[in-house]
């Protein structure tokens, strides 16, 4: 298992492929909604690889207000859900964020994922509301 935090094209491609499979194909979110103006060549993505050519979990790192890191577009390849890999990647991303000055984590999580984020220590602070074709709640966590 390897986790890469990078904006280099192979890592971005892996993140995009996972999001295409999970959000567009599986969840039915339109591609032009899923892939938005935050998906730039400079954007950092965290990807968990079980093998060099097998990305299974990803998230997008979105720095917000001072000391707040938003973890966006979190998804796990369907065949690998329920194995704790999402939590492994989110925990690594939280550590990475703290190392880069963040003290708070933020997630706009789909209602269906709320229990997962709560198990990871996040608490609902707003919502529910519609965002990018899904009903979500805002969830926050102190990272320090």
> 14-49, pLDDT tens digit by residue?
999 999 999 999 999 899 999 999 999 999 999 999
Q: What is the Cα–Cα distance from 110 to 96, expressed in whole angstroms? A: 23
In residues, how long is the chain?
A: 144
Q: What is the Cα–Cα distance from 69 to 31, expressed in whole angstroms? A: 24
pLDDT tens by residue, 54-96: 999 999 999 998 899 999 999 999 999 999 999 999 999 999 9
In CATH terms, the superfamily for domain 2-142 is Gcn5-related N-acetyltransferase (GNAT) (3.40.630.30)
């Amino acid at each position: 298992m390897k986790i890469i935090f990078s904006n280099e094209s192979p890592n971005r491609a892996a993140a995009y492929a996972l999001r295409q499979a999970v959000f567009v194909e599986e969840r039915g979110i339109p591609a032009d909604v899923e892939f938005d103006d935050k998906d730039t060549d400079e954007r950092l993505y965290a990807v968990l690889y079980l093998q060099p050519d097998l990305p299974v979990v990803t998230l997008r790192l979105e720095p917000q207000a001072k000391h707040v890191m938003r973890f966006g577009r979190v998804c796990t390849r369907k065949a690998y859900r329920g194995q704790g890999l999402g939590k492994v990647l989110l925990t690594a991303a939280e550590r990475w964020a703290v190392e880069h000055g963040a003290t708070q984590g933020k997630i706009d999580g789909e209602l269906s994922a709320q229990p997962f984020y709560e198990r990871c220590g996040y608490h609902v602070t707003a919502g529910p509301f519609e965002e990018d074709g899904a009903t979500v709640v805002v969830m926050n966590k102190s990272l320090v």
